[in-house]
Structure 1
Amino acid sequence: MKRTAAAATCAATLLLATALTSCSDSTPEEGHGPSYSSSASPSAPATVDTKSSGKLGEILVDDKGNTLYLFLADTKNKSNCTDACATAWPPLLTKGNAEVGKGVDKKLLDTTKRPNGDKQVTYNGNPLYYYAGDTKPGQTNGQGLDQFGAQWFVLNTKGDKVES
């Protein structure tokens, strides 16, 4: 039974990744979902901010309020999420150094180079990602999901995973 559920989850994730790949050249209209794309190069520095998320507390978000996640399969300053994974979980990319928002510790904010050469934002050594299943700012639909070989969690202001 567990294998069937895991296979169904995997199939659904790949279907979502395929659908997202086919429309990755477009940017959603303002107010109609996050405006990130796993294939687009950033044109400006990324900003990491914080937001109160009810039961999850203060969590990391981008400058538009979109939730950021860490991947437990990553190692310090190294992303292990590429290809279909990076489509379902787009990395937070930046041009130049990332910028510090409200409640963010500048000493914990940095970048790492992805396998394709893009600059990905890290916080406390954790590469940061969006979740394609979050369709509007403030959503945390990726919290605690187990996909692509490990779990995904939002981060607190210290850069640690938040368990719900």
Structure 2
Amino acid sequence: MKRIAIDMDGVLADVYHQFFKMDEAEFGQRRKLQDVEGKPEREGFPHIMEYVNTKGFFRTAPLIAGCVPIVKEINQQYDLYIVSAAMEFPLSLPEKLEWLAEHFPFITWQQIVFCGSKQIIRADIMIDDHFRNLDSFTGDTSLLFSQPHNIQSDPGRHQRVNNWEEISKILL
């Protein structure tokens, strides 16, 4: 059975929704997606570190559309792991664990990997929205999940996916 590693933030959890919501609350105006496209997250949202260190940021992130039923099916056909570089934000650990338990109750604690660097991850397939994680990936298939910070970049050796329906067509 092939092993698959799926990133959490930006692939399962809609953190951009959180960024825009908190940015609007702080500055009184909702910016458009085009305002941040092609910019690293820290450039697009100058106060991002405050946002991600706010209690509830990770716990209340909405789901990326369509992910739950497709991840459930992937879980039945692959050796699935949810992999998050959560150590960068240590306060996020309990929130991410609770979020996963709520939205993905079929994923066991043994299938959750919170790490610092994803370079240690060994799998056949990885789905992530950051080049820094995919570029060091040594597996067979790397899927770059489209997000504003990577949308204008050439995916290079990675295959770009724009939504969970596209992932379903590739993997199921």
The reply to whether TM is greater than 0.5 is: no
Which is helix-richer, 1 or 2? 2
Q: Of the two, which has the highest radius of gyration?
A: 2
Structure whose residues are more often strand by fraction: 1
TM-score normalised over the length of structure 1: 0.30
Which structure exhibits the higher relative contact order, with contacts defined as CA atoms closer than 8 Å and separated by 6 or more residues? 2
